[in-house]
Amino acid sequence: MNIKSLLLGSAAALAVVSGAQAADAIVAAEPEPMEYVRVCDAFGTGYFYIPGTETCLKVGGRVRFDVQAADSYTPNSDNGWNTRSRAELYLDSASDTEYGALKTQIVARFDFDGDYNDGQHTTTKLIAANITLAGFLVGLADSQFTSFTGYAGDIINDDVISYGQFEVNQISYTYDGGNGFTAVLSLEDDSRTGDDYMVDVVGGIGYSTGTFGFKVVGGYDESAEEGAIKARLDGNFGALSAFLMAGWNSDGDTVNKFANGDSIGQSWGDWAVWGGVGYSFSDTLAANLQLAYTDNETFAAAANLKWNPVPGLLIQPEITYTNWDTIDEDQWNGMVRFQRTF
């Protein structure tokens, strides 16, 4: 064998050894398993599973801009245009348990009034923060005196004559028989006095056939030692809906948390009544009318149009009229709301 053949053979052997060593040195890493966000449709639209858990989360909110000529709640308030911008954030969670769905609700609100960017015109408010399980609710929510019967008409200025208390800490239980029958019992925070350990009490029953619904609820204000009873009848007839609601005050001369009077602090008197109708002309256009009146002769009327030019966007013009007979004052107001819900 000559020298040339020896050199070529050695080079080939080295190449084979080097290639084998190089192949052994390179190890391809296994790809990490990718965990996609999964849709959770067990609790309605918009929920998704929090990765790595069996808890479902829903994120939403809305942005709103109002411009109005006066204030429906205040006499002699037609002093030029005023505006308000609002942002609300919603966080809802839900998961299955052996006792049913365990849910939480958080609603945070941010309002900006006027045109001064100094921080003093921005308000932040926690609207809801509660836990529900097996019919029980604990935490912050609107009083069951208000929410059990349902709110008034589909109107912006629906409570010039107030129909109950809103945000309050509570422990409540709602029974749903699945056959149209419902009932509620609620113990609600009474915070008017600092050394009082008693609570306000709310209870109610209702029945619905789908076309018609009737509910009655009563509330006792422990601090005022007075209360109120409210009843509501609803009817749904395709594109047309209507309601009639009436309240009785246990002491017509005073205001309590459940018979909490009108917008200038007057009591209902012995009673108050609200009624309204709504009509859907199409999937994008609807109209609503509401009237309210008290024993003390406060009258409030409101009418609006609700237009949804595209999904998620609402443009809502509304006109209102309020008359406070006891002070011989009245107020007209016109406003427009722009709202994006997501």
Could you tell me the pLDDT band of residue 317, with boundaries at 50, 70 and 90? very high
d(CA 90, CA 153) in angstroms, rounded, equals 23
- What is the structure's pLDDT at 22? 46
| pLDDT tens-place string over residues 129-147 | 999 999 999 999 999 999 9
pTM: 0.87
Residue 182 makes CB contacts below 8 A (sequence gap 6+) with 148, 174, 175, 176, 205, 206, 207, 208, 215
CB 219 within 8 A of CB 260: no
In a domain, 14, yes or no: no
CB 249 within 8 A of CB 266: no
In a domain, 148, yes or no: yes
- 127 pLDDT above the threshold of 80: yes
In a domain, 6, yes or no: no
Closest CA relative to residue 304, chosen from 164, 161, 158, 160: 158
- Judged by average pLDDT, the poorest of 28-42, 190-204, 255-269 is 28-42
- What is the structure's pLDDT at 28? 60
- Judged by average pLDDT, the poorest of 86-95, 130-139, 192-201, 290-299 is 192-201
d(CA 230, CA 286) in angstroms, rounded, equals 28
- Judged by average pLDDT, the poorest of 34-48, 156-170, 199-213, 277-291 is 34-48
CB 325 within 8 A of CB 306: no
d(CA 235, CA 116) in angstroms, rounded, equals 45
Number of helical (H) and strand (E) elements in the chain, helices listed first: 2, 17
DSSP 64-107: EEEEESS-TTSTT--SS-EEEEEEEEEEEEEEEETTEEEEEEEE
- Judged by average pLDDT, the poorest of 118-127, 237-246, 247-256 is 118-127
Q: What is the four-CA torsion angle of 87, 105, 144, 269, rounded to 10 degrees?
A: -10
- Judged by average pLDDT, the poorest of 115-119, 145-149, 316-320 is 115-119
Domain interval for residue 163: 33-341
- 6 pLDDT above the threshold of 50: no
How many domains are there within the chain?
Answer: 1
| Percent of the chain's residues with pLDDT above 90 | 83
- What is the structure's pLDDT at 36? 72
The H or E element spanning position 183 is: strand 181-188
CB 110 within 8 A of CB 127: no
Could you tell me the pLDDT band of residue 7, with boundaries at 50, 70 and 90? very low
| pLDDT tens-place string over residues 17-42 | 444 444 455 556 666 666 678 999 99
In a domain, 170, yes or no: yes
CB 275 within 8 A of CB 180: no
- What is the structure's pLDDT at 17? 44
* CATH number of the domain residue 239 falls in: 2.40.160.10
In a domain, 223, yes or no: yes
| pLDDT tens-place string over residues 105-115 | 999 999 998 76
- 5 pLDDT above the threshold of 70: no
